[in-house]
Amino acid sequence: MEGDQGTSDFTLVTRKPCFGLPTACPNCLPAYIYLKLSHLPFQLAFNSTFPDSEELPYFESGTYVAYNNEDGGVIEKLKKDGIVNLDSHLHSLPDYLSLKALILSWLDEALTYEIWVGTEGISASKIYYSDLPWVISKVLFYKQTYLAKNRLGLTKENAEGREKLIYKRASEAYEALSTRLGEHKFLFEDRPSSLDAFFLSHILFTIQVLPETSVLRCKLLEHSNLVRYAEKLKSEFLEASSSSPSPPLHSFPSSFSGKGSKPKSKPKAEKSEEEKKFKKRARFFLAAQFLAVVIYLSVMGGVSSDDLEYEDED
The model's pLDDT over 184-230, given as tens digits with 9 standing for 90+, comes to 999 997 899 999 999 999 999 999 999 999 999 999 999 999 999 99
Q: How confident is the model at residue 26 (pLDDT cuts 50, 70, 90)?
A: very high
Alpha carbon of 184 to those of 27, 40, 177, 232, 240: distances in Å?
26, 23, 11, 11, 20
Distance CA 272, CA 63 (A): 8
- The residue type of 123 is S
Higher pLDDT, 126 or 103: 103
User: pLDDT at position 243, please?
Assistant: 43
User: pLDDT at position 230, please?
Assistant: 97
User: pLDDT at position 8, please?
Assistant: 63
Residues 291, 296, 301, 307, Cα dihedral to 10° = -170
Please give the average per-residue pLDDT across 229-236, as a whole number: 96
User: pLDDT at position 252, please?
Assistant: 38
Residue 273 pLDDT exceeds 80: no
Q: Which of 173-177, 238-242, 260-264, 295-299 has the highest mean pLDDT?
A: 173-177
- DSSP symbol at 252: -
Please give the average per-residue pLDDT across 93-99, as a whole number: 89
Give 295's contacts (C-beta < 8 A, 6+ positions apart): none
The model's pLDDT over 173-186, given as tens digits with 9 standing for 90+, comes to 999 999 999 999 99
- DSSP symbol at 187: S
Task: Decide if 148 contacts 116 (C-beta within 8 A).
Answer: yes
Region for residue 161 given its phi and psi (left: phi exceeds 0; alpha: psi -120 to 50; beta: otherwise) = alpha
Distance CA 97, CA 94 (A): 7
Gyration radius (Cα) of the chain, Å: 20
User: pLDDT at position 2, please?
Assistant: 35
CB contact burial 248-286 (16+ within 10 A = b; e otherwise): ebebbebbbbeeebebeeeeeeeebebbeebeeebeebe
pTM for the predicted model, two decimal places? 0.77
